[in-house]
Each structure stands twice: as C-alpha cells, then as structure tokens.
A and B are shown apart, each in its own frame.
Chain A
C-alpha cells in the first residue's frame, strides 16, 4: 500500500478482501449480473451513486409489505412497527457515526439537504454582516452555493482556501484565512472530483482554535471509511444514503445537540410541532423539530440496512480494498500515454479522475459504454476544481467494494482502444 490505512480500532492495517470474498460480495448485488452492450456491466460510477445489495432491497421490500404505516401517530400495530423501524434506523445511524446522542441524527433527503438545513438554521442565526464563511476550492457545488446565498443575504463574505497542483488544501492558506470573523467552516471530507482525503481532524482543530464550528461534507467519505464524529470532533456531518449502498432520497445530518437546540425551524409542518393554535405554535424537540412532514420511512430503513451491510463487511476493510483499487488503477492510468490524472494526492479515496489528450471526457465515456464500462464524464458539480486544473471536464472512474482489479484492467484496455481510434 502506498498510503497508510486508517485503522482506528485495531491500530494495524486492515486486509483488503481476497478474490473469494469479493466474489461473494458481488453476488449480493443483483444489478451486477446484467449486461451492458453485450458486455458484463463494469460499474465505475460509484461516486455518483453506488449499487444496492440484496439486504437493502429486501429491507425496502419487507418494510412496504409488512410494516407500512405512518410514524409517530397511530396507536395501531402497523404504526408502532413502522415507528420502531424508523427510529431503529436512527439508532443504527447513530452507531454508524458514533454520535453521542440518537436525537442528533436528523434524516434528510441527502447531503445537499443537510448542508442547506445548517445554512438556513445555524447559518442564518449566527452569520451576520461582515462575518465570513470558509470553504475550500475543492467543494462540490452543494457545499458552495448554500453558503454563497447565505452570505449574499447577510452581507457576509465567502472565503475559499486554495488547493495545490496535487489537489490538496493549502493548510498554510487555510490557517491564514481562519480568523475571528469566521463563523462557520464547511469542508469536503473527501473530494468528489479528485478523491483527496482532507486532513479534516487537523483542520477542525485549527477552526475550533479560532472559535469556528465545522460542517463536514461526508457524501464521499461515509462510503469509504469508518466515521467517528466524536473522534473527528466535527460540529455537523452530512451524508447521502445512496452513495453508501442505501436508497436514494435519504441522508443524515448529524449536528451537536447543543448547536441545533434553540435554532429556528428549517421547514414547517406536521411532526415538527408540539402544539398548534392560530396564535402560537410550539416546536417539537430534536430530532423531530427538523423533520417536518411524513419522512422517507422506507428510505431510512433501507439506509439502516446499508449501514449494517458495511459494518458487517468491516468498513476499514472496504476502505483498504478500495485504496488498493485506486492505487492499482492510478498506476494503470500512469502507463497510458496521453492520460493526465487530475488529483494526485497521496491519500485518495474511491476516485480516479483523468483526461486524455486525444479524446474529450464525453467521448471517453461514450466509447467505454460500448465496452459495458460506466464512468462519469463532466465537471462533477465542481466547476471551480475544473477551472483550477484548466480543464472543461474530466472522466471519472470511481470504485466501490464490489469492484475488482480485473475491471480496472478492462478500463485501461478500453482507454488504449480509445487512444488508437482517436489519435
């Protein structure tokens, strides 16, 4: 391994899966059996969304077949069953993130909604004229635009920590940008466009030294590494279920209860109130205060199953397997003339982003599709990253636990074919 593995529990490197284990894992994903353009599907677009294991599909199906009712209201059996399943999923996500309190787990539609929720509640309460919100140059648009809107509304300033040619945050500049006006720091844990794993523990400490709370965008980290919000000491953490083997439309916001309590509501409606008269409404406590309306109950149940799936495999082993794939794939890409890797940080998770001198990323994606290989082509909702590297777009191959070195060999062979056709 070229990079040390994160092993918070054992203190030694977790072993990647062997071929037999991977074969068994692959059998849990029914979609991997389909073919694409007369080739076996090679799915390398996991940073966009991952595929779903049998366990998650069954959890969704079983919920609708055997436990479907609305939550937190009925006295009947099904409603109790649905409430238990939904609140049980919340407990599973608390364990998944090692959050101190179950009420600090708020179900959202995904990471984007989690960020918007924090911007609209914590942000609108604590960021004022002349204040600053600090992000990095490698953020996804969803961790830029909500802060831009907030700053415009409040007369605050959005500051941006620059990155290096390798795609790492310049910590000296980050330190320089932190000051007493910084009211919030919003950081990608892992970059979706570059794969860079940011040294967030250190960056959080630096922010806290200046009195600024930190929101971690964990959309791209939660699928690849054990998350311990207590150890990270972050104030907010957001994730998207569908990127970590769960259903679409469900995600989690973890927020310190001390910060979330006393904030204005995000959306108003049922379930988030204690009592309503036309004169006055009393709002519910955490977490229901931030979950207006009937939630995505089945989605939460499915996400809980996804978290259990990952935990059962060993999240540190998932990470070890994927790092081995990224290392292997990166070396393959290095061996193809005309390929330029975008993002070459030593610590990367899940993502291989690249361009070719002879073919545009869209042409790469189209040609690979012909070989049954699914990659993403475009700006990956990170246009500032594209601007920094001076490219309009990149092709991105991103791995999950079920990918293999053989699939990356097929990717490399596909790129060689593209080179012979286009140059």
Chain B
C-alpha cells in the first residue's frame, strides 16, 4: 500500500465510521471549539475534570476522516489521564506527526497514535490530525475562544 491508501489506515477508516465518545456532554466542566476555516472542519471537545484528572472526555462536530478519527482516538487515550499527562501526549503526537515522513516510527512508544504516521507525507492534512488536540489543550487552559488552525 502506498499514497492515499496508506494514509487511510484501516484503524482511521474504522474510527471515522464509528467515532468513539462522539457526543455532546452536558455536565462538562471545560469545553473548547476547534475549527479549520480553510475546509470548514469544526469540532467541540468536552472535558469533565475531577481535580486535574480527566474523568470524562467527548467530542462532537464535523470534519474529514483524518480530523474525526484523530479526535476519536484522542478521546480513547485521555480518559483517566491527568491534564499534565494529556499535554505530554499531545507533545508526543505533535512531534511524531511533524517529523520527516522517512523516519521510522517508534510503534511501541506511540501505541495507537502510530496509525497517523501516514499523515506526515501530507503536510496540509497535519492541521486536520491536530485539530481536536488543539481544542483539547484550549479546554484544559479554559480558553473559551474558538481555536483556529490558521
């Protein structure tokens, strides 16, 4: 597999079709919106914080397969983590996705995030993959302004 077929890993397609934690959260303690004005992708990320622990996380909105599956995978990884751990995870994800596409991935360290390795070859899609992550960080920081990838 090469090219776009490699970009759209089975895991990505599956999360796109059946996104996890895809719902609005009425008792969220923090929310933030992420939007990509270029393509109209728009997601809201909901966090329920218990102290500095993420007791629950969900997202809702509309976007492409890359942005939606990335948001979905993100929510599965964040539940039960501290806000510090969430931020560290973002740094790891961001570092991976902006790395040289030729660099081999450390699948073991990256875990589920490794499926987004194919995005590295498509610079315009990096914004899609990180959209919900940026919204999550903004929610932790309790910034209520919409986050834009532009």
Contacts and interface: CB of A to CB of B under 8 A. Distances in A.
Find the residue from B7, B17, B39 having the highest chain A CB count within 10 A: B39
B64 interface: yes
A392 B62 contact: yes
Find the residue from A37, A363, A422 having the highest chain B CB count within 10 A: A363
A393 B39 contact: yes
Interface string A84-97: 00000000000000
Contacts of B64: 360-363
B65 A379 contact: no
A149 B40 CA distance: 23
Interface residues of B, number: 22
B40 A393 contact: yes
A369 interface: yes
Given A37-B3, A367-B4, A377 B16 contact: no
A211 interface: no
Interface string A358-372: 111111001101100
A313 B39 CA distance: 37
A386 B42 CA distance: 14
A416 to B, nearest CB: 15
Contact of A366 (B7, B13, B41): B7
B125 interface: yes
A378 B40 contact: yes
A1 interface: no
Contacts of A359: 65
Nearest to B40: A392
B34 interface: no
A422 B65 contact: yes
A258 interface: no
B117 interface: no
B45 interface: no
A10 interface: no
B22 interface: no
Contacts of A379: 39-40
A421 interface: yes
Contact of B38 (A367, A370, A378, A423): A378
Interface string B115-136: 0000000100100100000000
A370 B65 contact: no
Interface in B75-112: none
A366 B16 contact: no
Interface in B12-59: 13, 16-17, 38-42
Interface of B: 3-5, 7-8, 13, 16-17, 38-42, 62-66, 68, 122, 125, 128
Given A362-B125, A378-B39, 15 more contacts: A360-B62, A360-B65, A361-B64, A362-B64, A362-B66, A366-B122, A370-B5, A377-B39, A378-B38, A392-B62, A421-B8, A422-B8, A422-B13, A422-B17, A422-B65
